[in-house]
């Protein structure tokens, strides 16, 4: 691993050199070619810093079950390395090109979050290039204020250049049980039972998420690690994962390799590939396999937004333009059925993804104000609706409802909060103190400007 460490050290030096080459007080940003953010933006602000060399796994310690990872390493590359040792990160977000640094400074969640929380909770320490040009190590003991303010700061305090994370052992296969529910209250009750016991019908649960297709058709997808050999399904070709879970009543079962389970949602970007025709049987057969992945659909989506192709097509059909509603919100478990009922009655979007979540420890993450020991359900919905009478009408309505239910909204997509509401929801006072300490000249964007004002 000496070569990986040397390459990483050289990458950090290039990043620092590019920072120092920018005139004092000039705004800066990370020069990234890809992004998993879905905010409407104006032209990129600031001089781009060189992140090349910060994309790999630096070292894996199989005895300590830790990995040192460069900030811009994708989970695809991270998982490929750790699975060689029968290990995986405690939380592996659903899309291959999400970076570890991006998941820690922004949103990261998956089907282990009901037992392992969020990605930043398994970070033991990290090196951060701050807006002030310092590379600081942050942990629960060293620079703890930066460590606890970094999650949900979305690159407005600095950029992670190295992270040391915990790993957990995994088995070669995942046995799946898809349980159908005909009432949302029954689905939520089942989630509560699993969170209380860690099991379903006496069998330990390792992975847990779900899908809502309608008020009377919803599913929990319950996974159990296993080393038992046997046939496995493949959803990287003609078969489509989310369609495989649907059935009339009761339960169905399935098996995947651990690799294919971790990336089961990526091939079709959950279900969003349908918008590009990639689920049509004939088109799918012609669609090259290397382009059946979320990153390619994301590129198509950004091109569509850039040239407003969707709005032009709507106009040709005599319909109004459409508002993008791409959101993940966390709602307390006891209010989840209420939110889902409201959403299905109010917002014409389905399917909806569900991911139960409990913070792993008692840390207070100032900008990610979720309560320890509180059970939440992450609700994800990604589509468009007809535009309303004001900009972002549907998104604003969702923000209000989530607030009424004491929920929390992630900031990777469009937001419409007032400055006062934003400060109250996202640790405004703590954020300003961290900003003053670690980016005193405001060389990085302010969080409100980045998340709401879309600069």
pLDDT score of 17: 95
With b meaning 16 or more CB within 10 Å and e meaning fewer, what string describes 107-121?
Answer: bbbbbbbbbbbbbbb
pLDDT score of 40: 66
The full 3-state SS of 336-369, as one line of letters, equals HHHHHHHHHHHCCCCCEEEEEEECCCCCCCCCCC
pLDDT, mean of residues 104-118? 96
Indicate whether 124 pLDDT > 70.
yes
Average per-residue pLDDT for the chain: 95
Calpha distance 406→371 (Å, rounded): 11
Calpha distance 435→439 (Å, rounded): 5
| 357 alpha carbon, distance to own chain's centre | 13
pTM: 0.96
pLDDT score of 308: 87
Q: Where are the alpha helices (DSSP H) in 226-308?
A: 241-244, 258-262, 281-286, 294-307
Tokens 């980016």, residue located? 439
Calpha distance 432→420 (Å, rounded): 13
pLDDT score of 37: 74
Residue 431's H or E segment, with its range, is: helix 428-438
- Which residues, at least 6 apart from 396, have a Cβ–Cβ distance to it below 8 Å? 390, 416
Peptide bond before residue 351 is cis, with ω within 30 degrees of 0: yes
pLDDT score of 453: 84
pLDDT score of 36: 67
pLDDT in tens, 254-312: 999 999 999 999 999 999 999 999 999 999 999 999 999 999 999 999 898 888 888 88
pLDDT, mean of residues 76-93? 98
pLDDT, mean of residues 17-22? 95
Residue 178 tokens read as: 């898809």
Instruction: Give the pLDDT band (50/70/90) at residue 103.
Output: very high
Instruction: Give the pLDDT band (50/70/90) at residue 455.
Output: low
Calpha distance 57→77 (Å, rounded): 8
Output the CATH code of domain 2-170+434-451: 3.30.465.10
- Pick the more confident residue, 211 or 308: 211
Indicate whether 42 pLDDT > 60.
no
Burial of 126 (0-12, 13-18, 19+ CB in 10 A): buried
Instruction: Give the pLDDT band (50/70/90) at residue 41.
Output: low
Domain ranges of the chain: 2-170+434-451, 173-264
Indicate whether 201 pLDDT > 90.
yes
Q: Following CA atoms 395, 396, 399, 400 in sequence, which dihedral angle do they give, to the nearest 10 degrees?
A: -140
Triad 208, 165, 171: Cα angle to 5°: 45
With b meaning 16 or more CB within 10 Å and e meaning fewer, what string describes 18-51?
Answer: bbeebeeeeebbbebeeebbbbeeeeeeebebbb
pLDDT score of 43: 61
């Amino acid at each position: 691993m000496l070569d990986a460490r040397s390459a990483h050290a050289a990458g950090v030096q290039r990043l620092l050199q590019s920072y120092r080459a920018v005139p004092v007080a000039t705004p800066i940003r990370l020069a990234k070619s890809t992004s998993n953010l879905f905010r409407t933006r104006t032209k990129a602000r600031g001089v781009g810093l060189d992140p090349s060399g910060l994309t790999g796994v630096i070292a894996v310690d199989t005895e300590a079950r830790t990995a040192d990872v460069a900030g811009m390493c994708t989970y695809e590359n991270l998982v490929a390395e750790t699975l060689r040792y029968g290990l995986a990160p405690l939380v592996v977000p659903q899309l291959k090109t999400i970076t570890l640094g991006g998941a820690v400074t922004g949103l990261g969640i998956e089907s282990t979050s009901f037992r392992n929380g969020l990605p930043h909770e398994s970070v033991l320490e990290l090196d951060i290039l701050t807006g002030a040009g310092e590379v600081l190590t942050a942990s629960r003991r060293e620079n703890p204020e930066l460590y606890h303010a970094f999650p949900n700061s979305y690159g407005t305090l600095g950029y992670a250049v190295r992270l040391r994370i915990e790993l957990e052992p995994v088995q070669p296969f995942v046995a799946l049980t898809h349980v159908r529910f005909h009432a949302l209250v029954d689905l939520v009750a089942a989630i509560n039972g699993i969170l209380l016991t860690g099991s379903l019908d006496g069998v330990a649960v390792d992975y847990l998420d779900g899908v809502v297709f309608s008020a009377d058709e919803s599913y929990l997808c319950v996974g159990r690690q296993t080393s038992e050999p046997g046939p496995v399904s493949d959803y990287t070709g003609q078969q489509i994962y989310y369609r495989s879970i649907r059935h009339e009543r009761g339960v169905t079962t399935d098996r995947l390799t651990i690799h294919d389970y971790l990336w089961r949602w990526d091939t079709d970007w959950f279900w969003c590939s349908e918008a590009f025709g990639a689920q049509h049987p004939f088109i799918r057969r012609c669609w090259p396999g290397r382009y059946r992945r979320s990153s390619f659909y994301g590129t198509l989506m950004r091109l569509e937004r850039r040239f407003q192709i969707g709005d032009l097509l709507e106009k040709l059909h005599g319909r109004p333009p459409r508002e993008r509603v791409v959101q993940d919100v966390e709602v307390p478990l006891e209010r989840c059925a209420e939110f889902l009922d409201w959403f299905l009655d109010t917002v014409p979007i389905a399917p909806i993804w569900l991911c139960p979540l409990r913070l792993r420890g008692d840390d207070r993450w100032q900008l990610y104000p979720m309560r320890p020991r509180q059970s939440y359900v992450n609700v994800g919905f990604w589509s468009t609706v007809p535009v309303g009478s004001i900009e972002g009408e549907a998104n604003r309505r969702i923000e209000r409802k989530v607030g009424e239910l004491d929920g929390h909204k992630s900031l990777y997509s469009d937001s419409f909060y007032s400055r006062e509401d934003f400060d109250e929801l996202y640790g405004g006072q703590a954020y300003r103190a961290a900003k003053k300490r670690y980016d005193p000249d405001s060389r990085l964007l302010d969080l409100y400007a980045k998340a709401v004002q879309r600069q």
